[in-house]
Structure 1
Amino acid sequence: MADTNVTRAAALDTATLSDALDRLGIVGQCYGISGRDPGFRMAGRAFTMICGPAGKPAGTVGDYIDDVPDGHVVVIDNGGRDDATIWGDILTEIAHRRRLAGTLIDGISRDVALCRELGYPVFSKGHWMRTGKDRVQVERMDCPVNIGGARVAPGDLIRGDADGVVVIPREHEDAVLAAAEEIHAAEERIRAACRSGMRLDDARKQFKYHSLQTRRD
């Protein structure tokens, strides 16, 4: 059964969703996160985990992948660590085969060529080849995490595109999506009016452009 709000989020870009989050006073923009390819797009619900420095013996970095629900986004809080990866080609191949929606990392990934070849969306702070084996391990799963300064709880909506990633808290998703759809419709009317010959300032005034993102409590 299709998740209606995932479908609604997928139809909106992250810029519009960011404006809706601002209107509602919700911090959901994942700072410093971008796709490993500018063409990557993803929308789905969050499957979350926190990683930390490896112990001795070291814990696992990727044995969870077969337990991620269909269509979810793998969300990994690695504390922004950029000296060791937490995602690579084996995870990419299995996630792609299982039709997961994508991967979101507060940290780095590697084996970028394969995710680009397969079209599997990976969003992270960067990429580098140094392995996380014996350096990083999964500490907890199915818990709230921090991704680029935004809180992500299990089941929250995740949307990624060429501008970055936003998280929409599950308890606010109907309000955020409704606001984003309203903003999108207003901006479409402005574009249509300008194509018909109206001045941009007049079109913006008519369709209340300057108040679209104004905070509303």
Structure 2
Amino acid sequence: MSESPALTITLAMMRQSLYSAVVSDALDGLGYKQQSPRLSLKPFTTSELLVGRCKTTLWVDMAHVDPRPYELELQAVDDCQPDDVLIAAAGGSVRSGIWGELLTTAALNRGCVGAVIDGAIRDVSKIREIGFPVFARTTCVYDSFNRQRVVDVDVPVEIDGVAFHPGDLVFADEDGVVVVPQAVENEAIRRAWDKVHAENVVRDSIRGGLKAAEAFAKYGVL
């Protein structure tokens, strides 16, 4: 397998060549074996690969009148930077649709490239028209007002026991959501890059008539 230690792999290059499964494989090889929530976070608005850096929000359910409705969720959206992915750690609650068209529009204006919602969303068809990638558990028509709220932003959060830290790389596609800890980011992305290009060689060899077992024996890639 060829290596690329001197290559600077940009987000644009990752979006062009990488995908969640090959990044997960690279993390496995580094001993990080639980970097993807096992629960189903489905792509509701696009099937395209989402790659960006975590902008985290922590949500809770509520059953009282909110004295400052939407305060922190609006702050989080307004503070988004280019290439951010809004992470909403809501404990899987489906009490309301915590992400919708207006938040999407505001986040997109700030350069946010997508959202991962551990809960429910709404306005799916309108978000799909915008082309903004959103991964979530399900949908819910109810507004979050007096049902759910953000209690903290830019803090480490967990989804299904997997930690998402502000600034971590996140990959999401139809196979799942994978988060890359910053401590191993460079090595994980280099390994994923090398593997995906090695896989191209293996694929071409198999198409050329080489048996799968022979290809694995020759290249060590599957």
Say yes or no: TM over 0.5: yes
Deviation at 1:96, TM superposition (A): 2.5
Per-residue CA deviations over 1:42-66 (Å, capped at 9, x if unaligned) read: 2111111101123644143432211
Distance 1:206 1:55 in 2: 61
- Using the size of structure 1 for normalisation, the TM-score is 0.88
After superposition, residues 46-85 of structure 1 pair within 5 angstroms as 46-54=54-62, 56-58=64-66, 59-61=68-70, 62-64=73-75, 65-85=77-97
Q: Name the SS for the 1:131 alignment partner.
A: coil
Looking at structure 1, the residues matched to 116 and 110 of structure 2 have their Cα atoms a distance apart, in angstroms, of 16
* Aligned ranges 1:64-213 → 2 under 5 Å: 64=75, 65-209=77-221
Q: Indicate how the Cα distance of structure 1 residues 15 and 135 shifts in structure 2: closer, same or farther if over 3 A, else same.
A: same
User: Distance between the aligned counterparts of 1:102 and 1:4, measured in 2?
Assistant: 20
SS state at 1:63 partner: helix
CA distance in 2, matches of 1:102, 1:149: 21
User: Which residue matches 1:42?
Assistant: 50
Q: Is the contact between residue 60 and residue 138 of structure 1 (CA under 8 Å) also seen in structure 2? A: no
Give the superposition deviation at 1:194: 1.2
Which residue of the other structure, out of 14, 18, 21, is the alignment partner of 1:9? Answer: 14
| TM-score in terms of structure 2 length | 0.86
Letter in 2 for 1:17: V
Consecutive unaligned residues of structure 2, counting only runs of 5 or more, are 1-7
Shift in alpha-carbon separation, 1:165–1:46, aligned structure 2, 3 A: same
Deviation beyond 6 Å, 4+ runs, structure 1: none
1:8-64 CA distances to partner (integer Å, 9 max, x unpaired)? 432301111111122112121133212113523321111111011236441434322
Task: State the number of aligned residues.
Answer: 208
User: Matched residue of 1:81: which SS?
Assistant: coil
SS in 2 for 1:69: coil
Query: Which range moved further: 8-17 or 68-77?
Result: 8-17
Q: Deviations over 1:112-161 (max 9, x none)?
A: 01111010011111112122210111111110011233100000001112
Query: What percent identity do the matched residue pairs reach?
Result: 30
